[in-house]
Amino acid sequence: IRQERKQDIKDVVDLKKLDSLRVELLGKKGPITQALRGMRDLPADERPTFGQFANTVRDELQSAIETRRDELKKAMLNKQLASEKIDVTLPGKPVAQGQPHVIQQIVDQIEDLFIGMGYQVLSGPEVEEDKYNFEMMNLPKDHPARDMQDTFYITKEILMRTQTSPMQARTLEKHDFSKGPLKMISPGVVYRRDTDDPTHSHQFHQVEGIVIDKHITMADLKGTLELIAHELFGNRFNIRLRPSYFPFTEPSVEADITCFNCGGKGCAVCKYTGWIEVLGAGMVHPNVLEMAGVDSEVYGGFAFGLGPDRFAMLKYGVDDIRNFYLNDVRFLTQFSKKG
Ligand code: FA5
């Protein structure tokens, strides 16, 4: 019987059944307990031998149960480990990666170019004072040229900046010329009450640039503008300078680049001119220098304001500026840096 029961214990295949077998064999109603209880009916001289034997059987069964319990637990654990095994060599699920906005990519490229030439890169407030956006840019309160930049006013003195040019005044005011020339670019968002169309948005980007020193000429400006065009477009496009007017530069120019859409032949995108205007520039007006406390008899230089939105359109052949602001990922992911 002892051997048979031990075999029963070995044959059990799950822990629950093992536990009921333990209750059955060693519990209060089990054969061992019963036998030990029945001992009092035995003659006194047989009791010690019987008792010893019963205890030995109980201990053996007990240890057989424990051994089997360990075996079953181990088997269960192994089964679980096998089922949860991870194959680290399997290819993972691709994680969608973000990227800088296409306009930011153009701005980054322009920043890299100018940092390489020793310019500092500064950013200014989008909510700006009338004083910096217009007055210190040589556009007093009722100057007709204010109409060139239809403005979102917040109060009479505070507005959404219409251009990054106020950063000219802000940096000129602070610059210490005894420490060297001023060479700065300032990228950022500007706002105008323009009617949205394929080449105009009421919110767009500009990168302002200014260089002030003792002997800066128009040739330095032209060279710098050509460098930007060359850096961004290689030799695929022509650039032309046109005389223009800005109150804060004298003389002033506007730069156009061959229309990406028609290659210069003329189409609706470029209003049949073959050119797209991408920036305004000129030699900084003495009034702007003087108002910022810089001696215009000694110092002078050039400034420019370019539109990265237009550059992005040209570079990638995007025929509607509004696409940049709709944030449709199907549009934006086309301009991955790798691609
Ligand atoms: C200016 O804003 C001057 N502050 C530029 C400047 C700076 C001149 C320094 C001289 C010295 P303008 O309004 O032309 O100029 O705008 C400059 C550029 O911004 C344009 O050439 C064009 O590329 C871009 N731009 C202007 N309006 C819009 C618009 N509504 N949507 C998209 N881009 C625009």
pLDDT digits (tens, 9 = 90+) for 109-135: 999 999 999 999 999 999 999 999 999
* Mutation probe of ligand 1 site: the residue of 137, 159, 165 with most atoms within 8 A of C-beta: 165
Confidence of residue 339 (pLDDT cuts 50, 70, 90): very low
Closest ligand 1 atom to 168 CA: 9
> Which pLDDT score is estimated for 337?
63
Mean pLDDT across 304-331 = 91
**Cα(53) to centroid(ligand 1), Å:** 106
**Cα(279) to centroid(ligand 1), Å:** 6
Closest ligand 1 atom to 163 CA: 2
Comparing 80-84, 168-172, 193-197, 257-261, which segment has the lowest mean pLDDT? 257-261
Tokens of 126: 């989008």
Contact 184, 122 (CB under 8 A): yes
> Which pLDDT score is estimated for 259?
82
Query: Per-residue pLDDT for 269 more than 80?
Result: no
Confidence (pTM) = 0.74
Question: Of 313, 307, 302, which is closest to residue 278 (Cα–Cα)?
Answer: 307
Tokens of 14: 């799950």
Query: Per-residue pLDDT for 182 more than 90?
Result: yes
Question: Of 213, 216, 190, which is closest to residue 203 (Cα–Cα)?
Answer: 190
Closest ligand 1 atom to 202 CA: 30
Give the chain's length: 339
Question: Of 171, 208, 164, 226, which is closest to residue 303 (Cα–Cα)?
Answer: 208
**Cα(89) to centroid(ligand 1), Å:** 54
Closest ligand 1 atom to 209 CA: 9
Confidence of residue 306 (pLDDT cuts 50, 70, 90): very high
Buried b (16+ CB within 10 A) or exposed e, 117-156: eebeebebeeebbbebbbbbbbbeeeeeebeebebeeeee
> Which pLDDT score is estimated for 2?
80
Q: What distance in Å separates the CA atoms of residue 77 and residue 80, rounded to the nearest whole number?
A: 5
Mean pLDDT across 155-176 = 97
pLDDT > 90 fraction of the chain, expressed in percent and rounded:
63
**Cα(309) to centroid(ligand 1), Å:** 10
**Cα(204) to centroid(ligand 1), Å:** 9
Closest ligand 1 atom to 304 CA: 9
Q: Whose CA is closest to atom 25 on ligand 1?
A: 307
- The string of pLDDT tens digits covering residues 134-157 is 999 999 999 998 888 899 999 999
- The string of pLDDT tens digits covering residues 87-105 is 889 998 888 888 899 999 9
Using only C-alpha atoms, the chain has a radius of gyration, in whole angstroms, of: 43
Binding pocket residue ranges, ligand 1, CB within 6 Å = 149, 163, 165, 192, 194, 200-201, 204, 206, 246, 249, 252, 277-282, 303-305, 307, 309-310, 321
Cα–Cα–Cα angle for 267, 268, 270, rounded to 5 degrees: 70
> Which pLDDT score is estimated for 87?
87
Q: What distance in Å separates the CA atoms of residue 248 and residue 304, rounded to the nearest whole number?
A: 11
Higher pLDDT, 230 or 18: 18
**Cα(307) to centroid(ligand 1), Å:** 6
Tokens of 271: 């209003």
**Cα(308) to centroid(ligand 1), Å:** 10
> Which pLDDT score is estimated for 197?
92
Contact 106, 306 (CB under 8 A): no
Terminal-to-terminal C-alpha distance of the chain = 80
Higher pLDDT, 70 or 147: 70
Query: Per-residue pLDDT for 286 more than 60?
Result: yes
Comparing 177-186, 253-262, 278-287, 288-297, which segment has the lowest mean pLDDT? 253-262
Q: What distance in Å separates the CA atoms of residue 95 and residue 92, rounded to the nearest whole number?
A: 9
Instruction: Kindly report the average pLDDT of the chain as a whole number.
Output: 92
**Cα(47) to centroid(ligand 1), Å:** 113
Question: Of 115, 148, 130, 140, which is closest to residue 254 (Cα–Cα)?
Answer: 148
- Whether the ipTM is more than 0.95: the answer is yes
Tell me the H-state helices in the chain: 2-11, 15-26, 31-37, 47-83, 102-115, 130-133, 166-174, 218-233, 286-291, 308-316, 323-326, 329-332
